[in-house]
Amino acid sequence: MKHRLGIWFFLGSEIAVFGGLIACYLLYRFRHPEWGLQAVHTLTGIGAINTVVLLTSSLTMILAHWFVEEDNFKSAANYLGMTILLGIVFLLFKSYEYHHEINQGLVPTKSLFWGFYYLMTGLHALHVIGGLVANGIIWTGLRKGFSTHRIESVGIYWHFVDVVWIFLFPLLYIASSGGAQ
Amino acid sequence: MKPRHLVGIWVLLLVLLGVSLLLANLGNVLLATTLIFGVAALKATLVALFYMRLKWEPGYIFAIIFTGLAVVLILFFTLVPDIIYVYGN
């Protein structure tokens, strides 16, 4: 139970960090409806694909945890390996997006919208990288046949990163395109 | 939960993602935005309850989460006067 309590305390502070950023973004957005015109330059298709990638990685993560509880470490390692691969795929798509946007001159200093965009997605990407490192450590242990309940804590963290993206996607992509400007 | 239930939740999450993308095409901006964030909140709730296993956690775990959310709400409402009085009505 101690490890679960620890990870939830950590996530409680993370809620304040990401929530604070989202709150500031929303307040500025209310004052600047013209941000919708800037936000249409985000790549909604790739954002949607990345959402599918992260949701799928959450599934493989929880399946890895389920197999650990069944003492089936081989299957757990396979599912955790898939989670790591999906996390890397997410970062590759995100890198492509950054490359595309920066090539168009849409850099963090272009406007407050792009400053928020790079800050929020960049901080999220750093959390993905942190999750990948933690997953990699657990994966190495599972491959050696170590039973580890740390996978539960790492899993809760990974799902939290997924939850953050669930909110970032409509904030920065969907609610900015089409009719919802 | 068995793997088939976990896969079922994943399918539901993907369906909700599709719904969000369709809602972006609604003509009414306010309605579309409200519904899109409603769907996002539903997706986050599903992940938190079943993947993060909050459904089976004791009450004090919820207290930790609500403390974080309370901090965000305090920040939000203390910034509102700045937005109104510094930027105008």
DSSP state of A177: S
Residue A29 has what pLDDT?
A: 83
pLDDT at A181 over 90: no
**What is the percent of chain A where pLDDT is above 90?**
75
**B 25-84 residues with CB below 8 A of A?**
25-29, 32-33, 36-37, 39-40, 43-44, 47-48, 51-53, 57, 61, 64-65, 67-69, 71-72, 75-76, 79-80, 83
Cβ contact A180–B32 (<8 Å): yes
Which tops the pLDDT comparison, A64 or A2? A64
Residue B26 has what pLDDT?
A: 82
What is the C-alpha to C-alpha distance for residues A169 and B16, in angstroms, rounded to an integer?
13
Query: Would you place residue A179 in the very low, low, confident or very high pLDDT band (cuts 50, 70, 90)?
Result: very low
Residues A26-85: tens digit of each pLDDT: 888 877 878 878 888 899 999 999 999 999 999 999 999 999 999 999 999 999 999 999
Residue A158 has what pLDDT?
A: 97
**Which whole number is the average pLDDT over A14-19?**
94
The helix or strand, by DSSP H or E, that contains position B83, with its residue range, turns out to be helix B59-87
What is the C-alpha to C-alpha distance for residues A70 and B69, in angstroms, rounded to an integer?
35
Contacts of A11 in chain B (CB under 8 A): 64-65, 68
Contacts of A26 in chain B (CB under 8 A): 76
Question: DSSP string of A90-117?
Answer: HHHHHHHHHHHHHHTT--TTS-HHHHHH
H helix intervals, chain A:
2-31, 35-39, 44-69, 73-103, 112-143, 150-172
* Closest by CA position to A97, among listed A31, A34, A53, A146: A53
pLDDT at A180 over 50: no
Tokens linked to A70: 């069944």
Residue B88 has what pLDDT?
A: 60
**What is the percent of chain A where pLDDT is above 70?**
95
Residues B58-77: tens digit of each pLDDT: 888 999 999 999 999 999 88
Residues A148-174: tens digit of each pLDDT: 778 999 999 999 999 999 999 999 988
pTM flag (> 0.90): yes
Give the count of beta carbons closer than 10 Å to the beta carbon of residue A44.
18
Residue partners of A3: CB distance under 8 A and separation at least 6: A149, A150, A152, A153
Residue A56 has what pLDDT?
A: 98
Contact between A56 and A86 (Cβ < 8 Å): yes
Q: State in Å, rounded, how far the first CA of chain A is from the last one.
A: 45
What is the C-alpha to C-alpha distance for residues B31 and A53, in angstroms, rounded to an integer?
28
Cβ contact B40–A162 (<8 Å): no
DSSP state of A145: T
Contact between A177 and A44 (Cβ < 8 Å): yes
Residues B7-38: tens digit of each pLDDT: 999 999 999 999 999 998 887 777 888 899 89
How does the average pLDDT of chain A come out, rounded? Answer: 91
Question: DSSP string of B8-41?
Answer: HHHHHHHHHHHHHHHHTT-S-HHHHHHHHHHHHH
Tell how far CA A59 is from the center of its chain.
14
Query: Would you place residue B89 in the very low, low, confident or very high pLDDT band (cuts 50, 70, 90)?
Result: low
Residue A176 has what pLDDT?
A: 57
Q: B63 to chain A: nearest residue by CA?
A: A12
**Which whole number is the average pLDDT over A95-121?**
95
Residues A84-105: tens digit of each pLDDT: 999 999 999 999 999 999 999 9
